[in-house]
Amino acid sequence: MNHTVGIPSVDLSDFLSNDTHRRQAFVEALGKAYEDIGFVAVKGHFLSDDLQNKLYHEVQQFFNLPYETKKKYEVPGLAGQRGYTSFGKEHAKGRSVGDLKEFWHFGQYVENNDPIKKEYPENITVTELPGFNAAGKEVYQKIEETGKYMLRAIALYLGLDETYFDDKIYHGNSILRPIHYPPITSEPQSAVRAAEHEDINLITLLMGASAEGLQVLNKQGEWVGITALPNQLVVNVGDMLQRHTNNKLKSTTHRVVNPPKEKWNTSRFSIPFFLHPRSEMRLDCLPSCVDAQHPLAYTPISAGEYLNERLIEIGLLKK
């Protein structure tokens, strides 16, 4: 374990090994980190540097396109689930001011006859950039695979069967979101590019951002800056997993702050992967996480119902 990034670091290759001690040490380190702060830095994952760089290149090209071009990929009625979302459309829960960002959504690729395909809009193809969609799909699938093994380790930490989450996330409603925070051109109304929030999903896997700015709130109430080191993904617990574990695993509050004034003229790019289950997954608290010291904290709900509730709260879905 090291704390050079303000959060614990683990190596997924330990969990993927056949060494019982390495696997168990990974599970324990991961579980402790998720109980303490809710974030870890992970190396040994399935996403190569080359593939990350390829997607960043495509994403920067997309956001450099004229607004009129990008706007044609913003589809009314989709609640931002696929394609482009322009500036200020999304805000943190409890806030009314839109975040200073534009983003794109790649969604699930169902390539067999799983009936869940009917639940998902098709991914949107950017005709101006022939490599954009191919890079997005490849990254989506590599990060999704990484997430599957992270959840297997979490399942073991919770005393569940190792493959407990496998069928729940198979063709899940996960989203890969390239985000562009533009240069700041005048004194901002707020010091944040994205206000403090918790993620909705089970876990979030974040590729190294192009600039610092991500901060998490620790148990002492201090904001801690996080920069993903080369070859690492930052992986945090989302509200669905916190809810399912009756608050045993922490969904940590985090935000993106504005850069110092001398860096206002720079863009910031970030690509999180929000790992969601299938909509029918029950998020009811696991019985093993409820006892006299930890009474039941949440009412029963499905992942689909919970997601809709939250999309309304953050302004992407109208009631």
Which residues face 302 on adjacent strands? 282
Distance CA 250, CA 113 (A): 36
Residue 115 lies in domain: 9-313
Indicate whether 318 belongs to any domain. Answer: no
Indicate whether 2 belongs to any domain. Answer: no
Indicate whether 3 belongs to any domain. Answer: no
Average pLDDT over residues 105-134: 96
How many structural domains comprise the chain? Answer: 1
Indicate whether 4 belongs to any domain. Answer: no
Indicate whether 1 belongs to any domain. Answer: no
Q: What is the pLDDT of residue 4?
A: 37
Among residues 166, 139, 167, 140, which one has the least CA distance to residue 154?
166
> Which of the residue ranges 130-144, 222-236, 265-279 has the most confident prediction, judged by mean pLDDT?
130-144
Indicate whether 192 belongs to any domain. Answer: yes
**Looking at residue 125, what DSSP letter applies?**
P
Q: What is the pLDDT of residue 112?
A: 96
User: Residues 27-66: pLDDT tens digits?
Assistant: 999 999 999 888 899 999 999 999 999 999 999 999 999 9
Indicate whether 96 belongs to any domain. Answer: yes
Q: What is the domain-level CATH number for residue 123?
A: 2.60.120.330
Average pLDDT for the chain = 88
Among residues 199, 163, 156, 183, which one has the least CA distance to residue 29?
156
Query: What separation in angstroms does the CA of 202 have from each of 88, 172, 215, 236, 274?
Result: 25, 11, 20, 9, 8
Indicate whether 129 belongs to any domain. Answer: yes
User: Residues 187-215: pLDDT tens digits?
Assistant: 766 656 677 888 999 999 998 755 577 88
Q: What is the pLDDT of residue 195?
A: 76
Higher confidence at residue 70 or residue 38? 70
Which residues face 42 on adjacent strands? 10, 233
